[in-house]
Structure 1
Amino acid sequence: MENLIFSAFGDELTASFRDQLVGLKEYGIHHIEPRGIDGKNISTLTDSELQELRKTLDQEGCGVSAIGSPIGKYSLDEDLSIHLEDYERVIRAAKILGTNKIRMFSFFIPKGENPRKYRDRVFKGIDVLLNRAVRENLLLCHENEHGIYGEKVAECVDLMENFGDTMKFVYDPCNFIYADEDNRAAFSALKPWVEYLHIKDATKEKAICPAGEGIGYIPEILGELKQQNRDIFLTLEPHLRVFTGLNDLSSNHEEILMRYQYPTAKEAFTAAVNGLFSVVNNLK
């Protein structure tokens, strides 16, 4: 499966960046999407701190698949200019750590509102971010995410049809399940723009589970991507333990939730790795 390359969010394994890399290598994963670094967000690190990360990456023989940035994950009511300093640090992170890809979002929409009402404001903000990225020869990759403009398939397609020449897509099957979208239809609609995947799955009851055990259509999606003549990162983002903010599922899901709870981050991560490896190893 040479064109399907494994990466991961190491901060779901441990806080220490070096320990993240060491832990990932134990699974045979030699790329990382850095997000949480020694208790700090990647968007807050200084050039000096980023240079130290680069040394650690080189020492451990690991590469960076993309920067797991929070750019665009804030309310439209906030002045974008106050986040541009963080954006510049994310750009520096990409340059220093040796990747051209930056994960980003399309701004939180007021709850209960029709996202199309805010389309012009969203597009204006994305224009600002994209213009800066293009000047640096960097590729912004939009992730579908709960509560933002690009939560549902229709708005994600809208974004890609308008910005797809300079912005690509991070496909997250689990997030589409939470948006009550069918992943067969979602992937079919967005396939022309998919740059890489975040690998997490969920059941029909919306319990997050290892890849292939839910309704995320992951084996079928990876089967299609395997046929493409390009390298594609599969970035594990397990979320298998019950994290703060994921505790609002109804009580009748308790039995299903318990099936996918793990006593340690290591065991949760191992289950996620085994799930993905099983799917990939069974591709025809």
Structure 2
Amino acid sequence: MHITALSDEISDNFQKQLELLKKHNLCFIDLRDIENKNILEHTDKYLDYIKAELTKNKIQVSCISTQIGKQLLPNSKNETLEILRQVNRAISVAQKFKAKFIRIFSFYHDGSITSEKSIIRLLNEFNTLAIQENITLLIENEPKTYAYSIENIDNLFSKIQSDYFKLLWDTGNFSHKKSGFTKKEHLYFLNIIKYAHIKDIDVDTKEKKLPGNGSCEVEKFIEDLHFQNYQGYLCLEPLIIYNHKYAEMYRKEELFSLALCKLLNIVESVSKNL
């Protein structure tokens, strides 16, 4: 397993992101927002600057995290072409940073068969583009999007069976479902997860918590990944800044350090107990 972190969860300032990664001896970063702007929105010139700074500090990019698909389905040819342009832009940026993964979403779903078919058709187009460029698309289990139910995830990955189309599992996104998975479902998801976002939430109060302090069974999740010989990334996305109790006491950079230490302790504990 490799530890990485979403860039804007570390700090809003790029140089501070680098400083904290170096301070904690982390050599991977997941590029989402830099200086309050998504990575795809930056100019090529600024991307060259980011790349040079990462190279200088010996930090590799684990993923390009986009907002593609966190939206309604396009309802015109022009809207579809614009989304495809964004996918191609994401692929180009991933290639620039030698990132193997691009995070996308599966579009907001109204529950209809028509919507389902349109979503799968469009995601299949994305998959074709990714295959051509040897890039893997990661579909997150995001609330309100198509890939937010066990049934839909199963259907999606049975319809699009590809080495370049995989599941990104966010530990906090299913926290509201207090009932666990069946053993069969559990093993199924573990086998198709290629990337994991680590966050923790108290399901009763909805408060964001440090990893291991909430209801998301973060330690058990990491332990199960170990048993499946998971070789992917654990990406820290604590969102603790949105817990006012913590935000009143700590700066964002301090909260990242607290969350990272908790995650590292969990990973170390799991490794020792195997």
1:248 corresponding residue in structure 2: none
Determine the C-alpha separation between the residues in 2 that align with 1:130 and 1:69. 15
1:175 corresponding residue in structure 2: 173
Q: Which consecutive unaligned segments of at least 5 residues does structure 2 have?
A: none
Determine the C-alpha separation between the residues in 2 that align with 1:267 and 1:37. 18
Contact residue 31 and residue 62 of structure 1 kept, 8 A: yes
Determine the C-alpha separation between the residues in 1 that align with 2:193 and 2:4. 16
Q: Secondary structure at the match of 1:235?
A: strand
Letter of the 1:114 counterpart: G
Contact residue 40 and residue 90 of structure 2 kept, 8 A: yes
Of 42, 58, 79, the residue aligned with 1:45 is 42
Contact residue 43 and residue 70 of structure 1 kept, 8 A: no
2:86 corresponding residue in structure 1: 86
Determine the C-alpha separation between the residues in 2 that align with 1:183 and 1:29. 32
Of 105, 125, 128, the residue aligned with 2:125 is 128
**Structure 2 CA distance for partners of 1:234 and 1:261, relative to 1, 3 Å:** farther
Shift, 1:102, TM fit: 0.6
Determine the C-alpha separation between the residues in 1 that align with 2:248 and 2:156. 35
Q: TM-score, normalised by structure 1?
A: 0.85
**Structure 2 CA distance for partners of 1:15 and 1:115, relative to 1, 3 Å:** farther
Q: Does 1:263 align with 2:262?
A: no
Determine the C-alpha separation between the residues in 2 that align with 1:156 and 1:277. 29
**Structure 2 CA distance for partners of 1:149 and 1:230, relative to 1, 3 Å:** closer
Q: Does 1:55 align with 2:52?
A: yes
2:261 corresponding residue in structure 1: 274
Determine the C-alpha separation between the residues in 1 that align with 2:248 and 2:201. 13
Determine the C-alpha separation between the residues in 1 that align with 2:61 and 2:111. 36
Determine the C-alpha separation between the residues in 2 that align with 1:20 and 1:115. 42
Contact residue 146 and residue 152 of structure 2 kept, 8 A: yes
Shift, 1:133, TM fit: 0.8
Contact residue 240 and residue 246 of structure 2 kept, 8 A: no
Matches within 5 A, 1:178-193: 178=176, 180=177, 182=179, 184-185=181-182, 187-193=186-192
2:236 corresponding residue in structure 1: 236
Q: Secondary structure at the match of 1:176?
A: coil
Q: Secondary structure at the match of 1:119?
A: helix
**Structure 2 CA distance for partners of 1:117 and 1:177, relative to 1, 3 Å:** farther
Letter of the 1:233 counterpart: Y
Determine the C-alpha separation between the residues in 1 that align with 2:82 and 2:107. 14
Q: Secondary structure at the match of 2:70?
A: coil
Determine the C-alpha separation between the residues in 2 that align with 1:64 and 1:183. 33
Determine the C-alpha separation between the residues in 1 that align with 2:233 and 2:141. 17
Aligned-residue sequence identity (percent) comes to 25
Determine the C-alpha separation between the residues in 1 that align with 2:128 and 2:152. 21
- Higher mean Cα deviation, 18-27 or 121-130? 18-27
Determine the C-alpha separation between the residues in 1 that align with 2:240 and 2:113. 33
Matches within 5 A, 1:197-212: 197-205=196-204, 206-212=206-212
**Structure 2 CA distance for partners of 1:11 and 1:55, relative to 1, 3 Å:** same
Determine the C-alpha separation between the residues in 1 that align with 2:256 and 2:249. 9
Contact residue 197 and residue 234 of structure 2 kept, 8 A: yes
Determine the C-alpha separation between the residues in 1 that align with 2:112 and 2:29. 32
Deviation track 1:199-244 (CA, whole Å, cap 9, x = no partner) reads 001122122211112222221121122234452211001101228x
Shift, 1:269, TM fit: 1.1
- Higher mean Cα deviation, 128-137 or 42-51? 42-51
Q: Secondary structure at the match of 2:188?
A: helix
Q: Secondary structure at the match of 1:124?
A: helix
Determine the C-alpha separation between the residues in 2 that align with 1:268 and 1:221. 22
1:253 corresponding residue in structure 2: none
Q: Which consecutive unaligned segments of at least 5 residues does structure 1 have?
A: 244-256
Q: Does 1:97 align with 2:97?
A: yes
Q: Secondary structure at the match of 2:174?
A: helix
Count residues with an aligned counterpart. 264
Determine the C-alpha separation between the residues in 2 that align with 1:7 and 1:27. 11
